[in-house]
Amino acid sequence: MTSPADQKASSQSLFDLLISETRTLHSIISVSKTIILFMYEIRRNKSRGNHYSDMNGKVYSKDYSE
């Protein structure tokens, strides 16, 4: 039979494992979200064609004819 001290150490290590797994999962989700948002921005900018926007969101057209 295990002593209460052994049980406490075992549950503490399980708790530490749970915390580290949760942190790992959180970082994986965060990186995935960043990649998805980056891909969305690229797609959105490609579909805009000859237009670009400034920092305020105002859209300009690139006109190369002079």
pLDDT at residue 31, rounded to an integer: 94
pLDDT at residue 61, rounded to an integer: 62
Q: What is the pTM of this model?
A: 0.49
| Model pLDDT for residues 8-63, shown as the tens digit of each residue | 778 888 889 999 999 999 999 999 999 999 888 887 777 656 556 666 666 666 65
pLDDT at residue 55, rounded to an integer: 64
pLDDT at residue 24, rounded to an integer: 94
Of 6, 28, 7, 25, residue with least CA distance to 17: 25
**Which tokens belong to 32?**
């995935």
**Distance of alpha carbon 27 from its chain centroid, rounded?**
7
